[in-house]
Homo-oligomer: A and B are copies of this chain.
Amino acid sequence: METQPLTSKEQMFVSTDVMLRHWQGHRNLTRRVIEAFPEDKLFSHSIGGMRPFAHMVMEMIDIAEPGVKSLATGNWEKVEEFDHTKTMPQTKEGLLERWDKVTALIDKTWPTIAPERFQKVEIAFGQYENANYDTLFYFIDNEIHHRAQGYVYLRSLGIAPPFFWER
């Protein structure tokens, strides 16, 4: 049997290995942005009616934690909306602890994701129908997006945020 040349849909841009490193690199930077906030401002500072950064961080946690499990299993639970009022830690230390638990969960769960699962189309969180690679891109892009808003919050407080390119 002759080997067929790959079609452009099959040409790899990036491997699953690299993608884990990419995701965790971003999470590492976000952790340092959390650390850069004075504790009170983390939970209170706002511009233009936007949420305090701690709430954005809880959204990232509430996406990544069930998200990585569902990427592995294909079982997506419906999330009507993210309600952090009861589950959000009330201290910076508590928030960082939650963050670190998710980091460890991702490292532990990732090797159990069969690579072909990323090409499957599923209904993420019971609502968002996409290929799983796009779903994971969304998790990361959403984190970059809200973290960058945290950068503006920090700048508006006169605090220099971590360098964007350090992961």
B residues near A133, Cβ cutoff 8 Å: 13-14, 18
The number of chain A residues with a CB under 8 A from chain B is 45
Question: A154 — nearest CB in chain B belongs to which residue?
Answer: B48
- B14 and A13 form a contact (CB under 8 A): yes
* Interface residue? A38 (CB, 8 A): no
Counting every copy of the chain, the complex holds 2
With A48-B152, A148-B144, A148-B145 as contacts: A13 and B118 at CB distance below 8 Å: yes
Listed A/B pairs (28) with beta-carbon separation below 8 Å: A8-B15, A8-B17, A9-B15, A9-B18, A11-B17, A12-B12, A12-B13, A12-B16, A12-B118, A13-B15, A13-B115, A13-B133, A14-B133, A47-B152, A47-B155, A47-B156, A48-B156, A49-B155, A50-B155, A142-B164, A144-B145, A145-B148, A145-B151, A146-B148, A147-B148, A148-B148, A149-B149, A152-B153
